[in-house]
């Protein structure tokens, strides 16, 4: 499945390189919803909430009312997760709160799973230089996604794994890394970061790895009609 991305910062739709440098702004929310019509789900990340400097909660709620969204960014409490589910979010993405200095935050993850159901949770294993990064990708942990993924399966329905080294740079991605993660889990895997060409998309698609795509769509590098067609082909495959 192809999942287009909407990242929010300062009340606007934006695209950043490696979560830091803003390189473009998107259209209004209604225009973005129209642009992504026909896609069953949209990934929505509140970047301000992710780095702890504010919130775009009203915009997230608006998108949840008008589309099937996977919502993340600053989800660090059971209350926030429940609020997003109540607003209509299809999946809740948890990243920073999933980890402590000692490793997985098992107590909070169990509370989140109990509150909204593990099938509604997607855990973010965003990685840079081989290590999981948190707090808007500004802090590195001491562990890798491959080390963590099986420990965390019990709490979630899937994993969002961003290859931050190439995120937003349109220089290709690491298909082998995503493949190793997919082979390590029975849960759904969503790849993000550096997905640039239809060859990237199809390489991941053939391995049953979902693609969350931002920059390559916003710059016109990838054609939305072709991406919709891949989703259509997936839906038409016999179960």
Q: Which of 7, 46, 48, 200 is catalytic?
A: 7
Would you state the pLDDT for residue 236?
Answer: 60
The helix-helix angle for 145-152 and 175-184 (nearest 10°) equals 30
pTM score, two decimals? 0.93
User: Can you give the pLDDT at residue 44?
Assistant: 98
Which range of 14-18, 170-174, 176-180 scores highest in mean pLDDT? It is 176-180
Q: How far is CA 118 from CA 94, 103, 114, in A?
A: 12, 19, 7
The answer to whether the beta carbons of residues 137 and 128 sit under 8 Å apart is yes
- Mean per-residue pLDDT, 154-164: 96
What's the pLDDT score for residue 132?
Answer: 93
Confidence class for position 100, pLDDT limits 50, 70, 90: confident
Please check the confidence at residue 239 and state whether its pLDDT lies above 60: no
* Confidence grade of residue 186 (pLDDT, cut at 50, 70, 90): very high
Give the pLDDT confidence score for residue 120 in this predicted structure.
Answer: 97
Q: How far apart are CA 71 and CA 88, in angstroms?
A: 10
Do the beta carbons of residue 211 and residue 192 sit within 8 Å? yes
Q: Is 7 a catalytic residue?
A: yes
**Mind listing the pLDDT tens digit for each residue in 80-92?**
999 999 999 999 9
CB 14 within 8 A of CB 223: no
Yes or no: is domain 2-236 CATH 3.20.20.70? yes
pLDDT of residue 96: 93
Spatial separation of the C-alpha atoms in residues 40 and 48, rounded to whole Å = 25
To the query of whether residue 111 is one of the catalytic residues in this protein, the response is: no
Cα three-residue angle 152-156-160, rounded to 5 degrees: 85
- Out of 30, 46, 48, 126, pick the active-site residue: 126
pLDDT number for residue 169: 63
pLDDT at residue 168, as a whole number: 64
Q: What is the pLDDT of residues 35-74, one digit of tens each?
A: 999 999 999 999 999 988 999 999 999 999 999 999 999 9
pLDDT of residue 234: 75
Q: What is the pLDDT of residues 189-219, one digit of tens each?
A: 999 999 999 999 999 999 999 999 999 999 9
């Amino acid at each position: 499945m192809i999942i287009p991305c909407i990242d929010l910062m300062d009340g606007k739709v934006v695209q950043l390189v490696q979560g830091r440098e803003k390189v473009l702004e998107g259209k209004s929310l209604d225009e973005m919803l129209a642009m992504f019509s026909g896609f069953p789900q949209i990934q929505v990340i509140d970047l301000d909430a992710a780095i702890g400097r504010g919130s775009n909660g009203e915009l997230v709620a608006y998108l949840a009312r008008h589309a099937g969204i996977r919502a993340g960014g600053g989800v660090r409490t059971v209350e926030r997760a429940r609020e997003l589910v109540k607003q209509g979010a299809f999946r809740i993405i948890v990243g920073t709160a999933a980890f402590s200095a000692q490793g997985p935050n098992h107590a909070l993850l169990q509370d989140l799973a109990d509150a909204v159901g593990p099938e509604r949770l997607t855990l973010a294993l965003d990685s840079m230089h081989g290590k999981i990064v948190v707090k808007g990708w500004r802090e590195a942990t001491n562990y890798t996604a491959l080390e963590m993924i099986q420990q965390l399966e019990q709490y979630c329905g899937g994993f969002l794994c961003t290859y931050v080294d190439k995120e937003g740079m349109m220089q290709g991605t690491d298909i082998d890394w995503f493949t190793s993660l997919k082979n390590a889990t029975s849960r759904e895997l969503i790849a993000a970061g550096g997905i640039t060409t239809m060859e990237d998309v199809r390489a991941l698609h053939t391995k049953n790895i979902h693609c969350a795509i931002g920059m390559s769509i916003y710059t016109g590098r990838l054609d939305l009609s072709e991406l919709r067609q891949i989703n259509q082909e997936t839906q038409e495959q016999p179960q």
